[in-house]
Amino acid sequence: MNILSPSILAADFSKLGEQIRLVDEAGAEYIHIDVMDGLFVPSISFGFPIIQSIRPITQRFLDVHLMISEPERYIDQFAEVGSNSLTIHVEACRCMIDTLLKIKGKGMKTGIALHPQTPIEAIYPYLEYVDQVLVMTVNTGFGGQKYLDSCTQKITAVRKEIDRRGLKVDVAVDGGVNLQNVEMILNAGANVIVSGSAVFKGDIKKNVAEFMKRL
């Protein structure tokens, strides 16, 4: 199943609740939330209060992407505020398997992400422990960037490896995804589409509908 996960990093924060309701009503299955700490990546974004405030206004799946150092320190809090999944970076965590098991133990789905510069093989040892792989296709930490064509081969490679092992693991793609390249990304092997600017700029419901036609 193909899934759209609008990234609220591109939303108008003064209208965040309203815009989340719009993507919800339009049929987007996930809400993607980028948490950045200013250390692992240069930017700072959302924390626990934002997720806690979103949870009551939508029943959609809260797809939380942790771009933070030492994510293992905060798993309990992310579970408490209503996260449905936590995706952690292979570059950020020293005890990857223990952290993934702790996330599962809190009733959340697990994901693993990697920077564009990191070889895709770096995540292969952990595929049996995750529900989702997140392939970053822009330099991590900033919205509104152009899709890096060199990352397409990573999408294909990880999908082939997942299928070879007979696993049920989603392949998500985040960064520069728009209506012009989404079909190419799906054909490469992705099934979860994270998009920010292409959803939240302009007519949100229309943008979601156009994405859904292509999924």
CATH number at residue 13: 3.20.20.70
- The Cα–Cα gap between 195 and 31 comes to 10
pLDDT (0 to 100) of residue 199: 98
Range of the domain at 54: 3-214
Which letter, b or e, does each residue of 5-33 get, where b requires 16 or more Cβ atoms within 10 Å of its Cβ? Answer: bbbbbbbeeeebeebbebbbebebbbbbb
Gyration radius (Cα) of the chain, Å? 16
Kindly report, residue by residue over 127-178, the tens digit of the pLDDT: 999 999 999 999 876 666 799 999 999 999 999 999 999 999 999 999 999 9
pLDDT (0 to 100) of residue 141: 63
Q: For the chain, how many structural domains are there in total?
A: 1
Q: Whole-structure pTM over 0.75, yes or no?
A: yes
- 31: tokens are 């809400």
174 counts as catalytic? yes
Residue 93 pLDDT greater than 90, yes or no = no
- The Cα–Cα gap between 193 and 177 comes to 8
34 counts as catalytic? yes
212 band by pLDDT with thresholds 50, 70 and 90 = very high
Which of these is catalytic: 34, 37, 63, 170? 34
Which of these is catalytic: 63, 131, 170, 174? 174
Kindly report, residue by residue over 115-140, the tens digit of the pLDDT: 999 999 999 999 999 999 999 999 87
